Amino acid sequence: MAIKIQVPRPTKMELSRLKKRHKLATRIQKIVKDRLSLLIMEFLQTVKECAAVRERLLADFSEAYRAYSVAFGYHGKAPLEKEMALSEMPFTVSSGTRNVAGVKLPFFEIEKGEAATAQLRNRIDGSSVLAQSIEQSRKCLETIIQLTELQNSLDLLGTEINKVKRVNNALEFIVIPALDVTIRYLNMKFEERDREETARLKYVKQLLERKEAHAY
Amino acid sequence: MPTDATKKGDTPAEVYLYNEFRAINAHVPRRRKSIEELLGESAPQIDCGDGSTHFFRKKELHLLADMLDDEERKDFMLPMLIEVSSRDNSYAVPSPRGTEAKVLSKICGTNLSPVMNRVTLFKPHLSVIRSSLKTCTQYIFVA
């Protein structure tokens, strides 16, 4: 049950102030509710994307593992390790933030450079098997970065949804009902005062009439 | 301390409600940039009202640039603002020159024509648009 707000003096001015606050609170609650529904929509979309990327990452990992096994069998341990140590993956990851309905989400973008496989092909001890394994590991890294962004976004969106839900619940179940109850209480108080006033006037009128009757 | 929207006589509860109202739209960009301007930057970004920076994905910018001609690229401002109205539960994108309507129609795969310079969207449209233009669109809440 909603608790009445303590009003210093039950006056019409206080009532109009409460009505203004009620209007504002209802407006904000509507907007907060809209924001909540949008955040939930974004969250669900991110969940779907996250699941898809996770599946892709698993497939990429198994592919990379297969490619490495073949390269390991073809070259042997020492040459493979040497090639791996020498090969580089020339790409840059730029990071920043993107804003979704007031939530700052991480943003990673991969910019590809010259492929490492092209460098490998030029070397004498390089092979297509090795190039393929490097290409696969590069793919894995890209997917990991994508998954990192999505997973982090998911966490932040979840936290924000909780916060917005709390604000929405506070407005919907505490602030607005309390204002409703107080406005109703003040209205009743004024009506009661009006009724008392009418009764008093009637009584005075009766007294005057009686006085007039006795005067004659 | 009273803010611009609040008055001197307001109670703390009223000040809080006004501030809540302001905080909802704090992420709106200070200045929007044209797609041509953004494509020229090495890290396309804009400053938001709350002091944060919003980055654009280059892939999305190129997708939009492919849909537009040279003249439209100069006028097309990003991010596209999706107005969320709590009064009638509708979503709309302002489209003064009709370029936004053209882009959104291509993305959604339906004909979206502007009515009184605004393209009205529905929730299914919204999820399609947001999934393909994550960084090029932003929400703005209208009371």
* A103, A160 contact by CB (below 8 A): yes
Pairs of CB atoms within 8 A across A/B: 88
- With respect to residue B114, please indicate whether it lies within any of the assigned structural domains: yes
Mean pLDDT of the residues in chain A? 86
A16-167 fold: Helix Hairpins (1.10.287)
CB within 8 Å of chain B, chain A residues 116-155: none
Pick among B16, B30, B52, B80 to test the A interface (most A CBs inside 10 A):
B52
**Cα–Cα distance, B56 to A30 (Å, whole number):** 30
pLDDT band at A46 (very low <50, low <70, confident <90, very high): very high
Asked whether the beta carbons of residue B52 and residue A104 sit closer than 8 angstroms, the reply is yes
* B88, B114 contact by CB (below 8 A): no
Q: Each residue of B103-117: pLDDT tens digit? A: 999 998 888 888 888
- With respect to residue B4, please indicate whether it lies within any of the assigned structural domains: no
- Chain B hits for A104, Cβ within 8 Å: 52
* A98, B55 contact by CB (below 8 A): yes
Asked whether the beta carbons of residue A24 and residue B23 sit closer than 8 angstroms, the reply is no
**Hunting for tokens 């890294």 — which residue is that?**
A141
- With respect to residue B39, please indicate whether it lies within any of the assigned structural domains: yes
Q: Each residue of A123-164: pLDDT tens digit? A: 556 677 777 888 888 888 889 999 999 999 999 999 999 999
**Cα–Cα distance, B32 to B116 (Å, whole number):** 22
pLDDT band at A68 (very low <50, low <70, confident <90, very high): confident
Closest to B131 measured CA to CA, from A143, A147, A47, A102: A47
* Residues whose CB falls within 8 Å of the CB of residue B28, separated by 6 or more in sequence, listed in order: B48, B49, B81, B138, B140
- Tell me the sheet residues that pair with B83: B92, B140
Pick among B25, B53, B81, B137 to test the A interface (most A CBs inside 10 A):
B53
- With respect to residue B61, please indicate whether it lies within any of the assigned structural domains: yes
User: Looking at residue A114, what is its pLDDT?
Assistant: 58
* B130, B137 contact by CB (below 8 A): yes
CB within 8 Å of chain B, chain A residues 29-58: 30-35, 38, 41-42, 45, 49
Whether the pLDDT of residue A119 is over 60: the answer is: no
Comparing A111 with A88, which gets the higher pLDDT? Answer: A111
Nearest Cβ partner for A45 among B11, B24, B131: B131
Q: In this predicted structure, which of A59-63, B5-9, B49-53, B68-72 has the lowest mean pLDDT?
A: B5-9
Closest to A192 measured CA to CA, from A32, A5, A10, A67: A10
Comparing A108 with A117, which gets the higher pLDDT? Answer: A108
pLDDT band at B85 (very low <50, low <70, confident <90, very high): confident
pLDDT band at A82 (very low <50, low <70, confident <90, very high): confident
- Chain A hits for B91, Cβ within 8 Å: none
Strand B80-85 with B137-142, pairing: parallel
**Hunting for tokens 């001197």 — which residue is that?**
B8
Mean pLDDT of the residues in chain B? 83
Whether the pLDDT of residue A199 is over 90: the answer is: yes
Whether B6 and chain A come into contact, CB under 8 Å, resolves to no
**Hunting for tokens 């669109």 — which residue is that?**
B137
- Tell me the sheet residues that pair with A95: A108
Whether B117 and chain A come into contact, CB under 8 Å, resolves to no
Distance from CA of B58 to the nearest CA of A (A): 8
ipTM of the complex: 0.83
Residue B49 sits at φ, ψ, to 5 deg, of: -60, -30
Whether B127 and chain A come into contact, CB under 8 Å, resolves to yes
**Cα–Cα distance, A4 to A135 (Å, whole number):** 68
- With respect to residue B3, please indicate whether it lies within any of the assigned structural domains: no
Closest to B119 measured CA to CA, from B79, B90, B76: B90
* Residues whose CB falls within 8 Å of the CB of residue A101, separated by 6 or more in sequence, listed in order: A35, A38, A39, A42, B27, B139
Whether B11 and chain A come into contact, CB under 8 Å, resolves to yes
Asked whether the beta carbons of residue A33 and residue B134 sit closer than 8 angstroms, the reply is no
Closest to B56 measured CA to CA, from B73, B76, B39: B39
Residue B129 burial (CB < 10 Å; 0-12/13-18/19+)?
buried
Domain extent for B137: 12-142
Closest residue in chain B to residue A19, using alpha carbons only: B14
How many distinct structural domains can be found in chain B?
Answer: 1
